[in-house]
Amino acid sequence: MARYMQFTNTKFVNLDIKLDNIQEALPDEGTEILARLVEAERRQPGPQNIVTDRATIYTSRSLDYASDVVYPILTDLGMAVFGSAEYSHAIQAVPYRAPEVILGMKWNESVDIWNLGIVIWEILCGEHLFGRDNEWGTLAMMIKYLGPPPIEFLKRSNIYSQYFDEQGNYKGAILEPIALKDRFQGGGDIDMFVNFVQPMLSWEPEQRPSAAALLAHPWLQ
């Protein structure tokens, strides 16, 4: 995904990187795999639930192939915008929303890096890092794991006073803080993993690494 972003961020910003929009590409023999799937369904149709005359729920069926390599692809580019520019409209599902977006600031391609960090955490840790259904809850979780945002960052926002006072103190619920690195026991690969993900989740967009820098990180080598 970082390679994909390295190429596309010069052209457009995806804006909606989340697990729902990541699919697996079929190998070269994809046509034959799909043909076997269709034939298996024809010979022995799976259970289905006819909800209405326009909606039917079908039982999923596993694809008949084995592969040691999975090629993820990003889908749903309906929200994408041209790269190398700044925007300010609201984007992203709330649990994936970057802090500059919540605070009504201008944003750029670094919002994709923020999303990628959350998705990587989800895939490897099996949990949603900032998962809340409203911006107050999402900000509270960010502060819990990342610490409070720099006051200089907050002052870039015209609406930060909705959430923070003049000293940068959060007006919402304060959760017990815990560092990302303290979520795990052990060291080695775990420490390197946190070292890889944490910069992607920097409050300040300019502190987040580029896709090219991520690809050069030791954790991926």
Identify whether 140 is part of a domain: yes
Residue pair 193/219 in contact by the 8 Å Cβ criterion? yes
DSSP codes of every residue in 188-213? THHHHHHHHHGGGG-SSGGGSPPHHH
Three-state SS for 70?
coil
Residue of 109, 116, 90, 93 lying closest to 22 (CA atoms): 116
Identify whether 159 is part of a domain: yes
Identify whether 54 is part of a domain: no
> Could you report the per-residue pLDDT of 157-167, keeping only the tens digit for each?
999 999 999 99
Residue pair 167/155 in contact by the 8 Å Cβ criterion? no
Three-state SS for 116?
helix
Residue pair 25/72 in contact by the 8 Å Cβ criterion? yes
Identify whether 31 is part of a domain: no
- Report how many domains make up the chain: 1
Burial class of residue 16 (count of CB atoms within 10 Å of its CB; 0-12, 13-18, 19+): buried
Residue pair 208/113 in contact by the 8 Å Cβ criterion? yes
Strand 12-13 and strand 22-25: the pairing is: unpaired
CATH number for 170: 1.10.510.10
User: For each of the chain's 221 residues, which pLDDT tens digit applies?
Assistant: 666 555 555 556 766 788 787 787 777 777 888 888 899 889 999 898 999 988 999 888 887 776 666 677 777 777 778 776 788 898 999 999 999 999 999 999 899 999 999 999 998 888 889 988 899 999 999 999 999 999 999 999 999 999 999 999 999 999 999 998 888 765 668 889 999 999 999 999 999 999 889 999 999 88
Identify whether 172 is part of a domain: yes
* Full domain range(s) for residue 143: 2-17+81-220
